[in-house]
Amino acid sequence: MKLNDEEQDILAGKFGPLPQQALAHQKSVGEFFGADNFVPVTQAHIMADTESLGEAGVRWLEKLATIAEGQRQVRVPTITDPRGTDFAKAATLGQTQAMLDLERRAIDAFVKLGVTMTDTCINYQTVQAPIAYEHVAYGDTGVVIYSNSVCAARSNFEGGPSALAAGITGRTPRYGFHLPEQRRATLRVVVDFTPSTLNEWGALGGVIGRLAGNYWAVPVIEGGEGVPKSDQLKHFGAAMASFGSTALFHWVGITPEARQLSDVASAGLPGHRVTKTDIEVLQKSYLVDDTVDVVVFSAPQLSLYELRDLAALCDGRRFKVPLLAVTSPQVKPDCDRMGYTALIEGAGGSVLSGMCFYQSYAREIADAKGWNRLATNSAKLVNILGGYGYRPMLASMESCVNAAVSGKLS
């Protein structure tokens, strides 16, 4: 890789051992992917939940945090993905003291490194959305696909150490979706219907993600009526990224880089047609039982308007099985202030903040609480939770709330 004068100084240790270590790591990553040089980034977003970090990962962070102050801080705004718990609701989840202690140690280390603890995967809705052509170093799959596609920013999926390195050096290797040629469509998809519920939007993303099938594929979508809302594209993109490892999609007439098909696709690009039957097949594949142990709204975290809709469905109800609604620390105070939390928790549910269900020791929670059959309106969550031993079922928000009341999913 070609390094400029500043980068050569960083690598020589003139700015201290942490930037030196970070840039050396990034240079190795860049050389692996064939990057010619680095590109400056304005923001970094770190996936670093303690379930993934483990004891060894947290010790690594703590070691970095012992470097002298002034030489260990990030140089661009660097924020965090959901954490492994909501400390106020840890007992509801059956989490152990050891899990909470590890979480507190990780947070302490991040703070010493200058990382802003936003604890959210919907930072594009709540903290600071990137703008078109802005180069960033984001980690969470849902964050990356939304920022690349809807905001037209530039990011790869950054692993936890790489995102932290980008925050420390203020740059990232210039490869993948930082390059204009990598952002051209490789797959054309025509949809002949418009989803009406968030679970349908997620299922559509899941179907297209399976068609795409790899990180380097870029679907361009045609069809549908009207302009999707932010929450609809949030569920759509998060599911596509989960089912297909997809980091970027275009939607003709909707996303900024695809005002018309020829903006992003070459003539003769092979096409696929996706019908409503395709998403019904995906949804029915997860309807494995009619009995529900727990209802979870998470992955992605809920927006204020999702919580408003959920609160309206909970008003005057009484739950037979637990219902968990997970949101960001930025949205939770407004959820409280506007009375949505009172309506959800008055029915017997719980509103949790700053975590995500599958990043919070989901397998251990299942063992502690006896939860196995889980209902949700998140296609991303059903795709993930099978790997944690759950029997996840995908349904609308209304059907999930009804299941919390009756214990049955119909």
Q: Please give the distance of CA 178 from its chain centroid, rounded to a whole number.
A: 19
Q: What is the pLDDT of residue 111?
A: 98
What's the DSSP call for residue 353? E
Q: What tokens does 244 get?
A: 């297909």
Per DSSP, the three-state class of 244 is helix
Q: What is the pLDDT of residue 289?
A: 87
- CA dist 266 and 271 (Å) reads 12
Q: Are 171 and 205 in contact (CB under 8 A)?
A: no
- CA dist 283 and 275 (Å) reads 13
The model carries a pTM of 0.97
With residue 385 as reference, give the H or E element that holds it. helix 379-385
Q: What tokens does 398 get?
A: 């209304």
Tens of pLDDT along the chain (410 residues) come to 999 999 999 999 999 999 999 999 999 999 999 999 999 999 999 998 999 999 999 999 999 999 998 889 999 999 999 999 999 999 999 999 999 999 999 999 999 999 999 999 999 999 999 999 999 999 999 999 999 999 999 999 999 999 999 999 999 999 999 999 999 999 999 999 999 999 999 999 999 999 999 999 999 999 999 999 999 999 999 999 999 999 999 999 999 999 999 999 999 998 999 999 999 999 999 988 889 999 999 999 999 999 999 999 999 999 999 999 999 999 999 999 999 999 999 999 999 999 999 999 999 999 999 999 999 999 999 999 999 999 999 999 999 999 999 999 98
E strand intervals along 22-119? 38-40, 44-46, 78-80
- CA dist 68 and 73 (Å) reads 9
Contacts of 278 (CB under 8 A, 6+ apart): 207
Q: Are 71 and 35 in contact (CB under 8 A)?
A: no
Q: What is the pLDDT of residue 407?
A: 97
What's the DSSP call for residue 333? H
What's the DSSP call for residue 116? B
Q: Are 327 and 351 in contact (CB under 8 A)?
A: yes
Angle made by CA atoms 142, 188, 182, in degrees to the nearest 5: 60
Q: What is the pLDDT of residue 392?
A: 97
- CA dist 50 and 33 (Å) reads 28
